[in-house]
Structure 1
C-alpha cells in the first residue's frame, strides 16, 4: 500500500515584519463564490444560478482562503473559487514579499515596500508621503541600503 503524499504548505512571510501565513494561491484574480455578481441581481437572472464575483487585480497577490467561511463539502468545491483574503504581494522595486499592513507596504499604481518608499521618497507625490506619515518611514531612513541592495543581485 502506497503512503499518502505529504504536501508542504506554501508559506508567505513578510520581509519587513514577523507576519507569516500559509497561503493557497499567488494570483491576479480574486474569485468569490459567496457573493453574487452585479449582473446576477437583475430580474432576468434571479431564477438562474448566480455566477461568482470575479475581480481582475492589478498586481499578483498572495491569497488565503477566508477562514471564516465554512466549507460544507471539501471534495466537491473548487478551492480557487472560495472567498479569499489578500495577505500580501511583492514590492515592485526590490521584489521582496511584503504584507499589506500599513507599516509594511503601500499600493500606489503598484506595490511598494516602505523601505523602497523611504529610499525613493523624492519620487512619490507629497500627498502620498503625508498620508503615510514620517513616523512610519523613520525606521527605514537610517538603514544600511548597500547591504539591502546586495541581496537583490
Structure 2
C-alpha cells in the first residue's frame, strides 16, 4: 500500500496539539448538548439539554457521574435550575432514569444491581429488591 500524500497545511493542522485539543473540545461540546433521553426500562422519554457532570447553564453544580440533564421548564430563565433525568449504567451502558436505577459510587440499572447484589452493601439489598418488584409490577401493566 502506498502512503497517502498530504499538503503541508493538512499535516500542520493535525500535528498542532492546540488545534487538536480545540477540535476535540468542540466535538465533545456538540456531543454533550441535547438529544432524546429514553430509559431502557420504563416509558420515560424526554428531551435533555446536556449530558455530562458539569452543565454549562448551571455553573454551581457538579455531579459525580455523567447525567442526562434538562433545564427546569418550571423555573425562571437563567436561574440555573435543572432536572436530572438519569444516567448510563456503569455495567451495561444502557440509559436509565433515576427511578429504574440505584447510585452507589456509580449508577447501576435495576438488572445489573440485582446481578451484582452480592458485591453491594447489605444496606442497599432491600432497595434493590424493591426496585425490581416495583418495575416488575409496572411491566405487568403494559
TM-score by length of 1: 0.59
Distance 1:129 1:70, change over 3 A: same
1:84 is aligned to: 82
1:6 is aligned to: none
Check conservation: 2:102, 2:128, Cα contact below 8 A. no
Count, aligned residues: 102
Higher strand share: 1
User: Could you list the runs of 5+ residues in structure 1 that have no partner in the other structure?
Assistant: 1-8, 34-52, 72-76, 141-153
* Structure 1 consecutive aligned stretches of length 4 or more whose deviation exceeds 6 Å: none
CA distance in 2, matches of 1:136, 1:83: 28
Give 2:121's match in structure 1, choosing from 110, 122, 125: 125
Counterpart check, 1:108 vs 2:114: no
Which structure has more RCO (C-alpha within 8 Å, separation ≥ 6)? 1
Deviation track 1:80-130 (CA, whole Å, cap 9, x = no partner) reads x732111110000100000011xx100100100011011111111111112
Q: 1:136, CA displacement in angstroms?
A: 2.7
1:136 is aligned to: 131
Give 1:68's match in structure 2, choosing from 66, 74, 92: 74
CA distance in 1, matches of 2:52, 2:129: 32
Q: 1:55, CA displacement in angstroms?
A: 2.4
Higher helix share: 2
User: Could you list the runs of 5+ residues in structure 2 that have no partner in the other structure?
Assistant: 1-33, 137-142
* Aligned-residue CA RMSD (Å): 2.3
